[in-house]
Amino acid sequence: MHRVRFQDPAGSIRNGTWHGEYVSFGNTTYETDMVSILPPSNPTKIVCVGLNYADHAEERNKNIPDRPLLFLKPPNVTAGHGDIVTLPSNKERIDHEAELAVVIDTQARHISAADAMEYVAGFTCLNDLSNRDDQDREQNWVRGKAFDNAAPMGPVLATPDEVPADATVELRVNGETRQSSTRSELIFSVPELIEEITTYMTLEPGDIISTGTTSGVAALSDGDHIDIWIEGIGTLTHDVRIP
């Protein structure tokens, strides 16, 4: 069963059930075009993992890291399924990055890889939008990764048992497939990432770990339509606008 956060026609935020063409909360159902689909959680932070696929490290001309390469996105980056995301203007290249995202269930600190999945509420889709103009000029990637709505995510929260260990991750722009890989090709697995991250910081309920992207990243243009499909989760859809 897939869970969904949405705003109903009266403006109330609900945690309901996703049925594909409609959502439900209690004994009420709504067609999806009657509601606003929200990000699956309201995170205090998003911990992102860079270069976690060997082929993406190669296309970026980077060495494969010997430990997870971590960076943060703050809460202002969130956007939801069906949103039109406004990207920074006057940039040569803002790339898409399809990623499997982990949503944390309970507060976690110093968690071993063996116990890590006990702290996971589920998985969702995430687009780690990346402003390469500034990312390639700065060290901490604030301009490159933390601009408003730089992490569209959703549409649902799938429980861990619903997402295969070798789940396919695909991204299409205007119907053209640009990225396609599997979860099994991650260099550092989800449990390994949780162990490493919680060695240094506390993860709060609703926090997100974005596990990294595969090869095929490319620049987006004004008006592009993006679909990210992950096996066992479904399809995150959003558009982009470049002023």
- What is the DSSP secondary-structure string of the chain? --EEEEE-TTS-EEEEEE-SSEEEETTEEEEGGGSEEPPS---S-EEEEES-SHHHHHHTT-PPPSS-EEEEE-GGGEE-TT-EEEPPSS-S-EE--EEEEEEE-S-BSS--GGGGGGGEEEEEEEE--EEHHHHTT-SS-HHHH-STT-EEEEEEEE-GGGS-TT-EEEEEETTEEEEEEEGGG-SS-HHHHHHHHHHHSPBPTT-EEE----S---B--TT-EEEEEETTTEEEEEEEE--
7-36 pLDDT, tens digit per residue, is: 999 999 999 999 999 999 999 999 999 999
Q: How confident is the model at residue 153 (pLDDT cuts 50, 70, 90)?
A: very high
Q: What is the mean pLDDT of residues 103-109?
A: 98
Domain at 1-36: CATH code: 2.30.30
232-241 pLDDT, tens digit per residue, is: 999 999 999 9
110-151 pLDDT, tens digit per residue, is: 999 999 999 999 999 999 999 999 999 999 999 999 999 999
Selection from 59, 65, 43, 123 nearest residue 97 by Cα: 59
185-228 pLDDT, tens digit per residue, is: 999 999 999 999 999 999 999 999 999 999 999 999 999 999 99
> What CA–CA distance (Å, rounded) separates 173 from 185?
22
Neighbours of 7 (CB within 10 A): 14
Q: Which fold has domain 39-241?
A: Fumarylacetoacetate hydrolase; domain 2 (3.90.850)
pLDDT the model gives residue 11: 97
Q: What is the pTM of this model?
A: 0.97
- Non-local (6+) Cβ contacts of 94 within 8 A are 87, 88, 129, 130, 131, 132, 133, 219, 220, 242
Q: Are domains 1-36 and 39-241 of this chain identical in fold? A: no
The domain locations on the chain are: 1-36, 39-241
pLDDT the model gives residue 3: 98
pLDDT the model gives residue 207: 98
37-84 pLDDT, tens digit per residue, is: 999 999 999 999 999 999 999 999 989 999 999 999 999 999 999 999
Residue 242 phi/psi, 5-degree rounding, is -120, 110
Q: How confident is the model at residue 1 (pLDDT cuts 50, 70, 90)?
A: confident
